[in-house]
């Protein structure tokens, strides 16, 4: 039976102006039959009718950068003693919280086995649609090197170490063999790693090119690059990566290069706006975050002004799970229009993940992934970051969360 959602304000995800008094019709296969003004909606005499009472209707959101195997404040060594069965259920709970926050599609960039994607697809657990990189590829002593002083790898589930073009090609092949939807590489050092700095280069240009080539040989799979400092961002872009993750050192030159090559920036501002607490952070981490916070905000604001394509990503796992849409507020604070920020979390993100033919906007023929919220997000973008305001979440027309009946 078709379902007709009416008396809503429609923000369709394409960047178009909101449509007041809108109707969304979902057919019995979970596809959108109509999305637009009530005045031109087709008659649906046999449809089930849902009155949204003036709420705002939006596409299901994306988070393009998460780590579901991680939680804030938990050191890497905790994973060595964790019960893997308990961890499985903890990840399932994080997936559920992320879905309840309004994220219906998610990309995990290190630490999540492909089996979780299969479990969601089969309906064994409820969570966002998943793409996963399985592990992060990096070099010895770099951001992906989680070795403890005694030489033990504290996070074998998270990282893959490779140090030559041939080794990184083989590492990429292992990830693809293990079911990866894309490849994640480290083009620079990072904030939370003890051995390096964001300004340090990670994999070399030749190594990055080898990964991109290998990904292209496998049905054109995407490559996401952890890239914070300027030199590493430049290497990643020249190698042809699909997305720059973080991008804290973006310059005018690199904005030009990203625009020329069509690369997408995923700035993970939640990690930048998170309050710094020296009492619970390693000294090296606190120093790096303190030094980079202002630089990052200035550079990402400039990238927004330059029109670099931006997709929503939070680095959830480094920051709290289940509050993903707070990222929209950070984008707006750095100069992005609220409607453009919503598009960054919907259609632009869908394009990055290669699923914009069926997801990312509320248009006829697409899959009916959508959310409804009480507030007007164009007046208060921060309302989307509070999961209790997301009163309805649907995937393929199936309601996963419905607070409208309470």
Handedness of CA 143, 183, 229, 238 (dihedral sign): positive
Q: How confident is the model at residue 288 (pLDDT cuts 50, 70, 90)?
A: confident
Q: How confident is the model at residue 338 (pLDDT cuts 50, 70, 90)?
A: very high
Q: Is the pLDDT of residue 405 over 80?
A: no
Q: Is the pLDDT of residue 285 over 90?
A: no
Higher pLDDT, 275 or 210: 210
How far apart, in Å, are the Cα atoms of 73 and each of 111, 274, 396?
17, 13, 35
Determine the Cα–Cα distance for residues 171 and 179; give it in Å rounded to an integer.
13
pLDDT tens digits, 53-98: 999 999 999 999 999 999 997 776 677 788 999 999 999 999 999 9
Determine the Cα–Cα distance for residues 189 and 31; give it in Å rounded to an integer.
43
pLDDT at residue 312 in the model = 98
How far apart, in Å, are the Cα atoms of 307 and each of 171, 303, 335?
34, 6, 11
pLDDT at residue 195 in the model = 83
pLDDT at residue 373 in the model = 98
Q: Tell me the backbone φ, ψ of residue 105, rounded to 5 degrees.
A: -140, 135
Question: In the block, which residue shows the tokens 């501002």?
Answer: 269
The domains of the chain, with CATH numbers, are 3-60+360-402 (2.30.40.10), 61-352 (3.20.20.140)
| Tokens standing for residue 228 | 């914070």
Q: Is the pLDDT of residue 129 over 90?
A: yes
Of the candidates 243, 277, 265, the residue with the CA atom closest to the CA atom of residue 334: 265
Determine the Cα–Cα distance for residues 64 and 229; give it in Å rounded to an integer.
20
Q: What are all long-range contacts of 388-393, with beta carbons under 8 Å and residues at least 24 apart? A: 390/100, 390/101, 390/102, 390/325, 391/55, 392/52, 392/55, 393/60, 393/99, 393/100, 393/102, 393/104
Question: In the block, which residue shows the tokens 């005045």?
Answer: 39
**What is the three-class DSSP state of 286?**
helix
pLDDT tens digits, 195-227: 899 999 999 999 999 999 999 999 899 999 999
Q: Is the pLDDT of residue 279 over 90?
A: no
Q: What are all long-range contacts of 33-36, with beta carbons under 8 Å and residues at least 24 apart? A: 33/2, 33/364, 34/364, 35/10, 35/362, 35/363, 35/364, 36/10
How far apart, in Å, are the Cα atoms of 253 and each of 152, 187, 258, 308?
40, 17, 9, 12
| Tokens standing for residue 87 | 């961890």
Q: What is the DSSP letter of 303?
A: H
Averaged confidence pLDDT in the chain: 95
| Tokens standing for residue 273 | 């706006």
Q: How confident is the model at residue 16 (pLDDT cuts 50, 70, 90)?
A: very high
pLDDT at residue 275 in the model = 86
Determine the Cα–Cα distance for residues 209 and 192; give it in Å rounded to an integer.
26
Q: How confident is the model at residue 292 (pLDDT cuts 50, 70, 90)?
A: confident
Q: What is the mean pLDDT of residues 336-356?
A: 98
Q: Using DSSP bridges, classify how beta strands 390-395 and 398-402 pair: parallel, antiparallel or unpaired.
A: antiparallel
pLDDT at residue 78 in the model = 76
Question: In the block, which residue shows the tokens 């990312």?
Answer: 360
pLDDT at residue 102 in the model = 98
Q: What is the side-by-side strand order in the sheet with 182-186?
A: 159-161, 136-138, 182-186, 222-227, 243-246, 264-266
Of the candidates 136, 58, 63, 67, the residue with the CA atom closest to the CA atom of residue 106: 63
Q: Give 103's strand partners.
A: 61
- pTM of the predicted structure, to 2 decimals: 0.96
Give percent of the chain with pLDDT exceeding 90.
Answer: 87
pLDDT tens digits, 360-374: 999 999 999 999 999
pLDDT tens digits, 387-401: 999 999 999 999 999
Q: Is the pLDDT of residue 406 over 70?
A: no
User: Lowest-confidence range among 28-42, 100-114, 137-151, 257-271?
Assistant: 137-151
Give percent of the chain with pLDDT exceeding 70.
Answer: 99
């Amino acid at each position: 039976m078709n379902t007709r959602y009416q008396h809503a304000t429609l923000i369709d995800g394409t960047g178009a102006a909101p449509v007041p008094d809108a109707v969304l019709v979902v057919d019995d296969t979970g596809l959108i039959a109509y999305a637009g003004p009530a005045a031109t909606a087709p008659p649906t005499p046999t449809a089930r009718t849902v009155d949204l009472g003036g709420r705002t209707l939006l596409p299901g959101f994306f988070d393009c950068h998460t780590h579901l195997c991680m939680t804030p404040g938990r050191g890497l060594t905790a994973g060595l003693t964790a019960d893997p069965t308990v961890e499985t259920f903890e990840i399932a709970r994080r997936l559920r919280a992320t879905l309840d926050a309004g994220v219906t599609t998610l990309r995990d960039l290190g630490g999540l086995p492909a089996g979780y994607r299969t479990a969601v697809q089969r309906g064994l657990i409820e969570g966002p649609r998943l793409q996963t990189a399985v592990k992060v590829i990096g070099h010895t002593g770099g951001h992906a090197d989680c070795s403890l002083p005694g030489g033990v790898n504290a996070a074998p589930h998270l990282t893959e170490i490779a140090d030559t073009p041939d080794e990184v090609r083989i590492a990429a092949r292992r990830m693809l063999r293990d079911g990866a939807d894309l490849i994640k590489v480290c083009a620079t050092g990072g904030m939370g790693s003890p051995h390096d700095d964001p300004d340090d280069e990670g994999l070399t240009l030749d190594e990055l090119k080898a990964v991109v080539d290998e990904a292209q040989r496998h049905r054109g799979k995407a490559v996401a690059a952890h890239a914070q400092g300027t030199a590493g961002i430049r290497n990643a872009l020249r190698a042809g990566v699909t997305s720059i993750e973080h991008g804290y050192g973006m310059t005018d030159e690199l904005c030009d290069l990203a625009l020329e090559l069509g690369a997408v920036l995923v700035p993970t501002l939640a990690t930048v706006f998170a309050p710094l607490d020296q009492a619970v952070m390693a000294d090296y981490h606190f120093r790096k975050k303190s030094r980079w916070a202002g630089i990052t905000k200035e550079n990402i604001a400039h990238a927004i002004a330059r029109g670099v394509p931006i997709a929503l990503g939070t680095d959830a796992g480094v920051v709290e799970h289940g509050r993903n849409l707070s990222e929209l507020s950070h984008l707006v604070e750095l100069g992005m229009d609220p409607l453009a920020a919503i598009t960054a979390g919907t259609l632009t993100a869908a394009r990055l993940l290669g699923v914009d033919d069926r997801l990312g906007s509320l248009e006829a023929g697409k899959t009916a992934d959508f959310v409804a919220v009480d507030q007007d997000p164009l007046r208060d973008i921060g309302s989307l970051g509070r999961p209790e305001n997301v009163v309805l979440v649907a995937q393929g027309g199936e309601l996963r969360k419905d607070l409208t009946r309470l």
